[in-house]
Amino acid sequence: MSGTGKTLFSLCAALIFSLARAELKGRCPSGFTFIGEKCYHVSYEKANWFNADRKCYKLNSTLVVFDNERDMQLLTATLQVLGLPFSNSWKDSIWTGLSCLGMGNSSAFVQNRDGAAVAYTPWCPNQPNNLLAKDCVGYANYNGFGYHNIECSLYEFPFVCQAKRVETESYLCLKKEQFLEVEVIV
């Protein structure tokens, strides 16, 4: 190979390597599944809201909170495929990360872990009703899919934890045989 050919080969190799390096948005933590734009861990184990919240916290995650309708529809469809019953009853709920704990007799439900306001609140009809210290929020097909407020410790439901993706970088290694060798005649 001539000097010019070697130079072109080196340039092609550098270009291909730089194009082959891929930065990924991230992957889900172990035990979590990527659905839509989030990582989820579905627990069939029934627990009251406090225990469900604590179990998600131990997994470095939070109880699920929907960001938008698409987010809600994707997870609902997945949960139905996984066999969680969503009959037309609050009794077939999953816990969410919303509560108004420590806020007095309030209907201002916030995200439990950071107190952030919730932008998307798909409440079931006639909810929240704030009767009898219903300070926590479940998600069910209760006259339509949506949130409903419920007492935190009396009932046990399955729950879903959500976690942020783990940032990663991935590199694609190429063998010399995969490079295009070009002979340039000058």
How would you class 98 by CB atoms within 10 Å of its CB: exposed for 0-12, middle for 13-18, buried for 19 or more? buried
Right CATH number for 22-170 from 3.50.50.60, 3.10.100.10, 3.40.50.2000, 3.40.50.920?
A: 3.10.100.10
Question: Quick one: tokens of 23?
Answer: 């930065």
Give the residue extent of every domain in the chain: 1-21+171-186, 22-170
Task: Read off the pLDDT band of 102 (50, 70, 90).
Answer: low
Tens-digit pLDDT profile for residues 4-49: 444 334 333 333 333 333 334 579 999 999 999 999 999 999 999 9
Q: In the chain, what percentage of residues exceed pLDDT 90?
A: 54
CA 157 to chain centre: 19
Mean residue pLDDT of the chain comes to: 80
Confidence check: pLDDT of 122 > 90: yes
pLDDT digits 0-9 by tens, 127-179: 998 776 788 999 999 989 999 999 999 999 999 999 988 876 555 545 555 54
